[in-house]
Every structure is written in structure tokens, then in C-alpha cells.
Structure 1
Amino acid sequence: MEKLAELKAFIETAEKEGTAFYEKNNKAAGTRLRNALQQIKVIATDLRKDVTDKKNAAH
């Protein structure tokens, strides 16, 4: 559940930075948005692996 909370935090950050980038044309926010999106990808991949491992261990 800790990873889900971390994922949620990065999604909120990405939303904030996306707004700044697209609506306010803040180029630095674009860099921060890309970083947040990369972190989301990493966490989501780890979370998928954890779910698969737990599911397979149940058998």
C-alpha cells in the first residue's frame, strides 16, 4: 500500500506540473512533469511485479 501512496503523490505532482507547463507555458515545469512521469512509470512497474509475485505465491 505504500507504493500506491507514492504513486498517488507523483500523479498529483504531475497534474500540478502539467497545468503549469500547458496552461502557463512554464518550460521548467515541463522538465519536472517528465521527471514525475518517469517516476510514475518506475513505481507502476514495481507495483505490477509485486502484485504478480504475490498472486503467484498464493498457489
Structure 2
Amino acid sequence: MKRFEQIKNLLMSLEGDFVKFYDKGNQAAGTRVRKGMQDIKNLSQEIRIEVQDVKNKEAAKK
């Protein structure tokens, strides 16, 4: 669950930049949003691999 919390926290930390970009047209905030979304993508991929590994280890035990 720690990994899930990391994604939630990262997404919530971007909220201000989303508002600045979409509502106020701040281009620098858009760059931060893009970087943050890339970080979320990378973390999500790590979690997917971790889940698959755990799943495979459980299946190997049977």
C-alpha cells in the first residue's frame, strides 16, 4: 500500500500546477505537470512489475 500512497501523494502535489496551467495559462506549470505525469507513469510501471512478480511467485508456490 506504500506504493499506492506514493502515487496519490504525487498526483495531489500536482493539483496546484494543474490549476495554474489550465485556468491561468501558466506555461511553466504545464512543464511541471508533464514532468509529474511522467513520474507517475514511471512509478506505475514499477508497481505493475512488482505486482506481476508477486503474482508469479505465488503461482510458483502452488
TM-score by length of 2: 0.85
Moved over 6 A (4+): none
CA distance in 1 between partners of 2:36 and 2:16 (Å)? 10
Larger Rg belongs to: 2
Percent of aligned pairs sharing the same letter = 36
**Structure 1: which amino acid aligns with 2:14?**
A
* One-letter amino acid matched to 1:44: S
Mapped to 2, the partners of 1:30 and 1:2 lie a distance apart of: 27
- 1:5 is displaced (CA, Å) by 1.2
Deviation at 1:14, TM superposition (A): 2.6
Could you tell me the TM-score, scaled by structure 1's length? 0.88
Distance in 2 of aligned mates of 1:9 and 1:42:
15
Structure 2, gaps ≥5 residues long: none
Distance 2:40 2:53 in 1: 20
- CA distance in 2 between counterparts of 1:19 and 1:38 reads 18
Higher RCO (CA < 8 A, seq sep 6+): 1
Corresponding pairs, count: 59
